[in-house]
């Protein structure tokens, strides 16, 4: 626990974090879990194929779409006050589902150097910016 708090403080300082997640949930834990889940081969980078597999994994009824209920079930470690706004953020066409196409769009936005491999730094930079936009007003979702 102490290690998580220290990491959170270091990350916050390094990235100029000026926001708090709802109910003071730990940013570093959230980012580490998400990156680890996506980096399926544990290579330290996330390929586009690995990133797209989140849809296959989260799609409980295998219809090619991930609903909010499926997303929250697959991300049960994440409280609803965080997972709901994140789900909506990653649903750019606001159709109520995530698709492989939605994920590919986000992947290319995250891959800052466009080398086809998403590093932890690229992932962190992108996600911190998005989380700050969502929760920057003292833990309240906004966009």
pLDDT of 26 reads: 77
Alpha-carbon distance of 49 to 125, in angstroms, equals 21
Model pTM score: 0.75
CA 128 to chain centre: 9
Top-confidence residue, 122 or 26: 122
Neighbours of 141 (CB within 10 A): 17
Give the pLDDT of residue 12.
42
Query: What percent of the chain clears pLDDT 70, i.e. is strictly above it?
Result: 80
Q: What is the pLDDT of residues 84-107, one digit of tens each?
A: 999 999 898 999 999 999 999 999
Per-residue model confidence (pLDDT) at position 16: 46
pLDDT at 138 over 50: no
Q: Report all structural domains of the chain as residue ranges with CATH numbers, in order of start.
A: 2-135 (1.10.238)
**Burial of 72 by CB count in 10 Å (0-12 exposed, 13-18 middle, 19+ buried)?**
middle
Beta strands 117-119 and 97-98 are: unpaired
């Amino acid at each position: 626990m102490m290690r998580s708090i220290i990491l959170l403080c270091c990350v916050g300082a390094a990235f100029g974090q000026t926001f708090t997640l709802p109910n003071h949930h730990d940013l570093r834990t959230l980012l580490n879990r998400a990156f680890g889940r996506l980096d399926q081969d544990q290579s330290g980078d996330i390929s586009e194929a690995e990133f797209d597999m989140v849809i296959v994994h989260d799609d409980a009824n295998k219809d090619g779409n991930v609903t909010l209920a499926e997303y929250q079930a697959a991300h049960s470690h994440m409280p609803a006050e965080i997972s709901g706004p994140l789900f909506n953020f990653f649903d750019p066409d606001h159709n109520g589902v995530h698709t492989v196409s939605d994920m590919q769009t986000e992947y290319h936005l995250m891959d800052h150097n466009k080398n086809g491999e998403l590093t932890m730094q690229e992932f962190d930079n992108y996600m911190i910016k998005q989380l700050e936009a969502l929760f920057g007003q003292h833990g309240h979702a906004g966009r």
